[in-house]
Structure 1
Amino acid sequence: MKFTTLARRAAKDTLEAEDLIAFVQEHGAEGGEEIERLRILHGWPDDGLLGDGSRVVPFGGWAKACTAWGRQGVEGLRDMLGDPQLAVFALGTLADVGGPAAIAILLDFAERADWSRAGTPRDLPCQALYCLNTALSGKTGVEVTPGMQASMLRIAKLIWDARVPNVHFLAQALYFVRRADPVPALAWVEQLRVDDPVLVDAQRSVLKRLKEHAARD
């Protein structure tokens, strides 16, 4: 997308968050600076909340994440994760950026998260797991290193130890370990005692996948 096209679409309010991310992917630091200029020019709110109480797409938050990425690469997004108001935009951008460096930051964030405070899909730790799954299933594919595998299993254990009160999210955490080292992952998944049908199905599916991986190894 050209700079003039981005500016025109911003003026007509026809942009989407994905457009900003794609623009930085194409234009790098210069793209990030142009997004920052448009954010200030149009007064995009970080949270999408307007003065009259109505809501719009929170382009301000997405713009700040894209500008940080353009200026400093994924490390700029790591710095944003410390801001509770902007972390969700950094997580989403990392998921779309993908690649080993972005995934490493997402894994680190998920391991440090306070899972005892995660109760709904909107909570930042839950968003982190969703973004990790997105990044790991990207079109280009990512080689999962032994270090990543160990981190995946640790994160799943943290989630289950915290007794997150959402069976669908617990199931997502189980599915997350399908790409972990099959030997320790098998031992952990097999010892889980579940009775909810959603978790029973997830455990059965994950065990099957891990056993297939173990047999190939």
Structure 2
Amino acid sequence: MLRGKLSSSPVVFTREPGGTPFAEEIRKLLVDNPLAGKSTALNNFFLFWAAREELQENFVLPALQSGKHVFSDRGDSSTYAFQLCGEENEQLLPAFTYMRQLVFADSIRRRKPDLYVIFDLPAEVARERALRDANRKQSHFDNRDIGYYERVRNGFKKFAKLAPVEFIDAARAPEEVHRAVMLLLAAKMVIPEFAFIV
């Protein structure tokens, strides 16, 4: 819905992990590979950051430099919520902080996202939707227990202390959620140049 509404705006959409040919190959390792579920948390953590760096360098930065706004489906907020909190690896927080500074270095060429929009759901609803979503292939991340989903939800709430985050109640009908997103963007007065939509 958002793509259609903003189709006449200078906007591009992407996703994480992925968004470039090389980052999509990393995505296959993380999501589609049958061995991915047996990979260590540390290994996954750095693969997500490798895909993110690739996306920044070869998609986000060129888009921003050409005057476009960038919307990404997921981002470092997801790494924080899923890998650190969901998988109970908060000992990775110093590495997360370091990688975030490295990839989103404050300079002319790099910038942190202007806005993160988190679609918030009760853990039970999030798990149910993930398991019955016929529009996408399920991964080893989807079939986790309810405790994992609760930790992920709390992880997004913790991440909100680190970055400009707005929560949208996603338990409503898709049309209502879309309206809430558009109202949020209108309230911000300008389309953020770089936003993560989770």
* TM-score, length-scaled by structure 1: 0.30
Higher relative contact order (CA 8 A, sep 6+): 2
* TM-score, length-scaled by structure 2: 0.32
User: Which structure: greater helix fraction?
Assistant: 1
